[in-house]
Amino acid sequence: MLNYIWFGLMAIALIVAIFTGNAAAVTKGAVDSAKTAVDISLGLVGIMTLWLGIMRVAEKSGLISLLGRALRPISRLLFPDIPPDHPAIGAVIMNIAANMLGLSNAATPLGIKAMEELQELNPNKETDSNAMVTFMTLNTAGIQIIPATIIAVLAASGSKNPTAIISTTLIATICGAIAAVTTARILQRFFPVEDVGPALSRPAPAESRSHVDEEAE
């Protein structure tokens, strides 16, 4: 669907440019924008590689696991429905840690893995669980200690002090995360998720049990 939207926007812009006599300006703008995108991408490669490498070293050295244990009290508060030793907690913590470092590209596969683990715990596969909603909320308005991606973009764009945004970004993301999680918790109280998933822990109805017993005999 998104591909059709992008195609429609480009087609409409091109048609309007032709009828208004701005086709040459649109063509020049497209070429210039493509060149700028390549220049910024090349500048991002080195910085993103550095931070992704640091993330991998932290993962292999056990630093991420240590961070997960340190954040376990917070994770229990935010995700009370997830068992403490379930793999979902580790995936969620790694994703949050990557987002805190501003590594959006590294956080994406970790976020997908976390959602897969949370879906396994979800009693209703047709609806997002409270843990999944809270996790997506933190992804949308998560705390960033080091906005590495934004710093890389500013540096590639020629900024003289690209790290000047660290303090303001930290304050803004903390406020955003608190507001987002608070709103999610309030809405969860008004719109609770009904447990209509597979009754793994519920006793089967009497008729079903008698039917199964008859077939077994």
pLDDT tens digits for 88-106?
A: 777 788 788 778 877 766 6
Instruction: Give the pLDDT score at 1.
Output: 73
Instruction: Give the pLDDT score at 200.
Output: 38
Instruction: Give the pLDDT score at 5.
Output: 92
Q: 62: left (phi > 0), else alpha (psi -120 to 50), else beta?
A: left
Element (H, E) at 166: helix 166-190
∠84-87-93 over CA atoms, to 5°?
Answer: 80
Instruction: Give the pLDDT score at 97.
Output: 78
Instruction: Give the pLDDT score at 68.
Output: 67
pTM of the model: 0.57
How far is Cα 28 from Cα 97, in angstroms, rounded to an integer? 41
Element (H, E) at 150: helix 148-156
For residue 68, the tally of other CB atoms under 10 A from its CB is: 19
Low-confidence ranges of the chain (pLDDT < 70): 43-44, 47-48, 51-52, 55, 59, 64-65, 68, 104-106, 193-217
Cα distances (angstroms) measured from residue 21 to each of 14, 17, 86: 10, 6, 61
Structure tokens at 165: 């945004």
Instruction: Give the pLDDT score at 95.
Output: 82
SS3 for 9? helix
